[in-house]
Amino acid sequence: MKQVAFYEKADDELLQFAVIAAKYQGRWVLCKHKERSTWEFAGGHREAGETIEAAAVRELYEETGAAEYRMVPVSVYSVTDQAQSGEKQAESLGMLFYAEISRFDQLPPAFEMEKIECFEKPPDNWTYPEIQPLLFQHLRQAAAAEEQGGEQGRDSSAKAPEERLISGKKMICAEKTESLLYRRAGSHDRELLTRLRLEVLRAANGLEEDVDLSRTELESRRYYETCFPEDSHAAWLVFDGEEVVGTGAVSFYQVMPTYHNPSGKKAYIMNMYTRPDYRRRGIAHRVLELLTAEAEMRQIDVVTLEATAAGRPLYEAFGFTAMRDEMELLGGNKF
C-alpha cells in the first residue's frame, strides 16, 4: 500500500521525481507506455547532475513531444510504501508541475511512450492508481485555492481553475525545435550562467585565457544569486543535446519617469552569444524575440543594448536604432 503526502517545499537534493500534469487546448495530456495499456502523466526520475526543473523539461519533451509550453511547479509530494504489518518504508520525494502546451513535435520514437491522447477528464485506468489520481486531485485543490485567493474575480469564468496557476507566476518555459532546446534559465543555473558570462566576455573583448577575470567571476556569481529571487533578470539558454550553443539575457531596472517613458521601467539586453559553429541558423534572432517578449510582458517600453560590430546588423534588422544623446563616465577615468 502506498501513502501520498504533500509539502510546501523540500530540499532540492531530496527530490527524485518530476511529474507534469499538462493540458493542450483545455484537455488533459496523458501518455501510454509501449508495454502497458494504462495512462499516466508525463514524468520520471531525475538524472544525475540534473535540476528538478530540467528533469521536468526533459521528461515532458521525451514523453509527449511538447515543443512549446509554459510550466510552473505546484507542490512537493512524497510516496511511502507501507507493508501489511504497518511498517513504513523509505519516503520518496518528487515535484508536481502543471504545464500548458501550445505546440507538439512528433513524439520521440527512441523513448518509451507509444502515444499520447487528450482527455476532457483523466480515465480511470491509471498506470499508478495509488498515486496519480491523488496528484490530480491535489492539483485541482491547489488551483481552487489559488482562484479563491488574490486572483479571485479577475476573469475567473474564462479559464479552468488549474489554468490560472500560470497567471502571475514565475514560469519554467521551453521551446523545442527539430534539433535545439531553448530553455528559460533560473537560479538553479547560476553556476552555468557564471561560466557562460566569462566565456561571452572573453569572446566579446578578445581576451586570452590567462587574463584574470576572478573579480568578474565573483561578482557575476553574486549577481545570479540575487537577480532571480528579485525577479530583475531573465536569461535563455540554447542547447544542442547537453551542450549550450547560445544564450542571451535581459536585466530589468527602474529610473525616474520621463516624458517618453512615463513608467520609468527599462530593460537592458546583455550576454547575447551564439557559438561560432552554430551561427547563421537564426538562434540569436529567436533569443532576441524571447527576451523582448519578456520586456513586453512586463509592460516595459524602453529596451536598450550595447552592440558589437558583429551584432549590429542583427539588432538593426530587429528594429533597434543607435542612440545619440547618452554619454558615459567610467569610474577609472574620474574617481
DSSP string of 30-88, one letter each residue: EEEETT-SSBB-EEEEPPTT--HHHHHHHHHHHHH-EEEEEEEEEEEEEEEEE-TTS-E
CA distance 18 to 93: 9
User: Mean of the pLDDT values across residues 59-81?
Assistant: 91
CATH architecture of 185-334: 3-Layer(aba) Sandwich (3.40)
pLDDT winner (highest mean) among 153-167, 179-193, 232-246: 232-246
- 12 — pLDDT class (breaks 50, 70, 90): confident
Give mean pLDDT, residues 51-72.
Answer: 89
Within 8 A by CB and 6+ apart from 52, the residues are 12, 15, 18, 46, 95
Give pLDDT, residue 38: 97
310: exposed, middle or buried (Cβ count in 10 Å: 0-12, 13-18, 19+) = exposed
Dist CA 72 CA 74 (whole Å): 6
CATH classification of 2-173, choosing from 3.40.1260.10, 3.20.20.150, 3.90.79.10, 3.90.580.10?
A: 3.90.79.10
Mean pLDDT of 291-306: 91
Residue 104 to residues 60, 62, 66, 128, 240, Cα–Cα distance (Å):
11, 11, 4, 25, 18
Indicate if 185-334 has the same CATH topology as 2-173: no
Q: What is the pLDDT of residue 334?
A: 53
Max mean pLDDT range (50-64, 229-243, 255-269)? 255-269
Q: What integer pLDDT is reported at residue 211 of this predicted model? A: 96
Q: What is the pLDDT of residue 158?
A: 56
| pLDDT of 82 | 73
Between 174 and 19, the more confident residue is: 19
Centroid of chain to Cα 186: 7
Look-up: residue for cell 516595459?
Answer: 300
- The yes-or-no verdict on residue 173 having pLDDT over 60 is yes
Task: Choose among 101, 98, 56, 54: nearest CA to 73.
Answer: 98
Q: What b/e sequence results for 257-278 when a residue is b if at least 16 CB atoms lie within 10 Å of its CB, and e otherwise?
A: eeeeeeeebbbbbbbbbbbeeb
SS3 267: strand
Determine which helix (DSSP H) or strand (DSSP E) holds 138, and give its type and residue range: helix 132-148
Domain boundaries in the chain?
2-173, 185-334
The pLDDT of residue 156 is 47
pLDDT for the residue 81: 85
What pLDDT does residue 326 have? 83
How confident is the model over 150-160, as pLDDT tens digits? 544 444 445 67
pLDDT in tens, 76-127: 999 998 765 556 677 899 999 999 998 888 888 888 999 999 999 999 999 9
Is there a contact between 260 and 298 (Cβ–Cβ < 8 Å)?
no
